[in-house]
């Protein structure tokens, strides 16, 4: 009996990890961790692992000893299946560099009211003249991004591949008196772009006319 279980532990572990990859792809879990363009590759990898597990189970490879590594791997895969990912974007952003680099794509023809938070950040960093945008309508959404020195901003995470290379970006917001934004809370803001003076320098700031909580988007990561 012991040898029978030992012989099954390897294909079982492979099958469980194949299930992890396949379930994560089909259920949308990967949207919290990885750009959509890579999802088919993850799903295909899950199918391959399931096929390998089935092949090894049919071969009936004999294991004389109980392999602890494969057993622990199986338990870990079960835990990943049972506990869906729930990353804290604000905590992650606090440990990342917000430098967008020199490769910034802009669409100057996009009306101000149709610019996303990411569009605004890229535009303000490429043309940092606050007076150019004062009074422009703003309709953006994002999560509350805490700042080490100053009030929270409204932020997004940009990724090339996955959370491992995530770059946090944010827009300053002049929060209404009595309103306390909570870290990681997702908000939609409608208002206008204003100008603040910080340490003797002018910068743009979002002046909200309406703030409403929204659910986290199905695909919260942006390219």
> Could you report the per-residue pLDDT of 18-28, keeping only the tens digit for each?
999 999 999 98
The Cα-based distances of 102 to 113, 130, 158 in angstroms read 25, 20, 15
Cα distance between residue 63 and residue 195, in whole Å = 70
pLDDT score, position 213: 96
Average pLDDT along the chain: 86
Quick one: pLDDT at residue 26? 92
Nearest alpha-carbon partner for 16 in 86, 75, 66, 85? 75
The CA-based angle 124-125-129, given to 5 degrees, is 55
Task: Quick: pLDDT tens for 124-151.
Answer: 888 888 899 999 999 999 999 998 888 9
Q: What is the pLDDT of residue 1?
A: 42
> For position 28, what pLDDT does the model report?
86
pLDDT-based confidence at residue 2 (cuts at 50, 70, 90): very low
């Amino acid at each position: 009996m012991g040898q029978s279980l030992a012989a099954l532990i390897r294909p079982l572990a492979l099958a469980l990890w194949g299930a992890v990859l396949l379930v994560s792809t089909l259920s949308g879990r990967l949207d919290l961790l990885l750009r959509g363009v890579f999802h088919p590759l993850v799903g295909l990898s899950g199918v391959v692992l399931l096929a390998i597990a089935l092949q090894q189970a049919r071969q009936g490879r004999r294991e004389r000893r109980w392999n602890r590594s494969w057993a622990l791997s199986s338990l870990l895969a079960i835990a990943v299946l049972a506990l869906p990912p729930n990353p804290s974007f604000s905590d992650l952003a606090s440990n990342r560099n917000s430098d967008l680099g020199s490769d910034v794509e802009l669409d100057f023809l996009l009306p101000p009211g149709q610019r996303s938070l990411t569009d605004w950040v890229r535009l303000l960093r490429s043309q940092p003249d606050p007076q150019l945008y004062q009074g422009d309508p703003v309709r953006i959404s994002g999560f509350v991004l805490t700042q080490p020195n100053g009030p929270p901003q409204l932020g997004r995470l940009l990724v090339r591949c996955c959370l491992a290379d995530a770059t946090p970006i944010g827009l300053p917001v002049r929060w209404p008196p009595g309103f306390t934004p909570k870290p990681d809370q997702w908000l939609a803001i409608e208002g206008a772009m204003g100008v603040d003076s910080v340490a003797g320098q002018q910068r743009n700031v979002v002046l909200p006319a309406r703030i409403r909580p929204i659910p986290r988007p199905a695909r919260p990561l942006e390219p």
